[in-house]
Amino acid sequence: MPDSLPPDSVGLVEPQTLHFDEPLTLACGQTLPHYDLVVETYGDLNADRSNAVLICHALSGHHHAAGYHSLEERKPGWWDSCIGPGKPIDTNRFFVVSLNNLGGCHGSTGPISTNPDTGHCYGPDFPVVTVKDWVDSQAKLADRLGIKQWAAVVGGSLGGMQALQWSLSYPERLRHAVVIASTPRLTAQNIAFNEVARKAITSDPEFYDGRYAEHNATPRRGLMLARMVGHITYLSDASMGEKFGRELREEAYKFGYDAEFQVESYLRYQGERFSETFDANTYLLMTRALDYFDPAYDYDNDLAAAMSQARCEFLVLSFSTDWRFTPTRSEELVNAMIAARRKVSYAEIDAPWGHDAFLIPTPRYEDIFTAYMDRVAREVQQ
């Protein structure tokens, strides 16, 4: 618990729930008759509403990106290192909007919400949503907030996919897209890891075809395994080695299957904690959104043709040890942008932490991100 909040924090923040009454038709063909989005905002919207930045979250993320919900909260929001006064996304200059996506389990309408057709929670009946659907719902959110055009849409990983999709779905409604540690589409290996996670969940006897809530059950084992395998892919081999090596929990081998190496107990802890807080149907949905994302798909697999729809400028960042979405994936994207004659800045950041590096501030990452966002801010009437 911080005695007082750090001076470069956005401070105490309060989420708000916005209700949307217009139906939203999804890529799968189903329609959500109405829905809620939980939102946090940091900083102030300027007079001509031109300084708004949208933050898009990754697989297990949510609206609480910066600041503290209370003085008792031990950790700030998930991207507090990059959002705040004087930080890359400077809340003295930008009005920052962060939401929990549709299908999430942190307050926005999703599988744990009540299905108006049945009076029970949606569970597995909640429709599969795609990155395109999220961007559509975020456009409705922009309408509600009176934001015609974002100064920037920013995201890492799955969040970067949303920033990219914004540039294609609503080319006139953003001036910049910041796409960090992301990819224009998953590889077969990426899909394979997602499939292991999903199979872990759906094969858990406590899953009950997704109707675990009706059975007062939770597929904890499945969620734990899904998180464990995911977690390995977020870190680099080297960073795991640095953090844990082959260090034992006790002095000598015990010749059994309890956690003996530090890395085993760390993974188990991460998995168990996650399984107590995250909704299994949401996890399935989020991984499927990752699988389906493929903007080139509608353009005969020609990513440059897709990117020629965009009008905004781009910052693309990748991390040297990210083996989930390697720098090569970002380079494919950048090459397509160049072929489509879009304006793009690109840097591969040397960082040891694998995919998670996008959450961890390092001097070069901060410098490039700050410099780019400074340029975005200078275009805005302060």
The yes-or-no answer on residue 157 being catalytic is yes
CA distance 154 to 97: 10
121: Cβ–Cβ under 8 A, 6 or more apart, which residues?
111, 112, 113, 114, 115, 213
Closest CB to a second copy among 126 and 358? Answer: 126
The yes-or-no answer on residue 204 being catalytic is no
Longest dimension (CA), the chain: 67
- Give, in order, the Cα–Cα distances in Å from 47 to each of 40, 44, 94, 95, 146: 20, 9, 12, 11, 11
Residue type, 84: G
Sign of CA dihedral 285, 288, 293, 297: negative
CB of 184 to a second copy, least distance (A): 11
CB of 131 to a second copy, least distance (A): 12
Q: Which residues lie near a second copy (CB under 8 A)?
A: 27-29, 127-128, 185-189, 191-193, 195-196, 198-200, 202-205, 221, 224-225, 228-229, 232, 235, 237, 240-241, 243-246, 253, 255-257, 259-261, 263-264, 267-268, 271, 284, 288, 291-292, 294, 323
Q: Which two tokens stand for residue 239?
A: 């960073």
Closest CB to a second copy among 166 and 292? Answer: 292
H or E segment at 186? none
Closest CB to a second copy among 107 and 219? Answer: 219
- Give, in order, the Cα–Cα distances in Å from 204 to each of 226, 284, 370: 11, 13, 45
| Catalytic-labelled residue, pool 157, 169, 182, 275 | 157
The yes-or-no answer on residue 258 being catalytic is no
CB of 292 to a second copy, least distance (A): 6
Closest CB to a second copy among 108 and 287? Answer: 287
| Catalytic-labelled residue, pool 80, 90, 204, 322 | 322
| Catalytic-labelled residue, pool 169, 182, 355, 356 | 355
CB of 275 to a second copy, least distance (A): 11
Residues labelled as active-site residues: 157, 322, 355
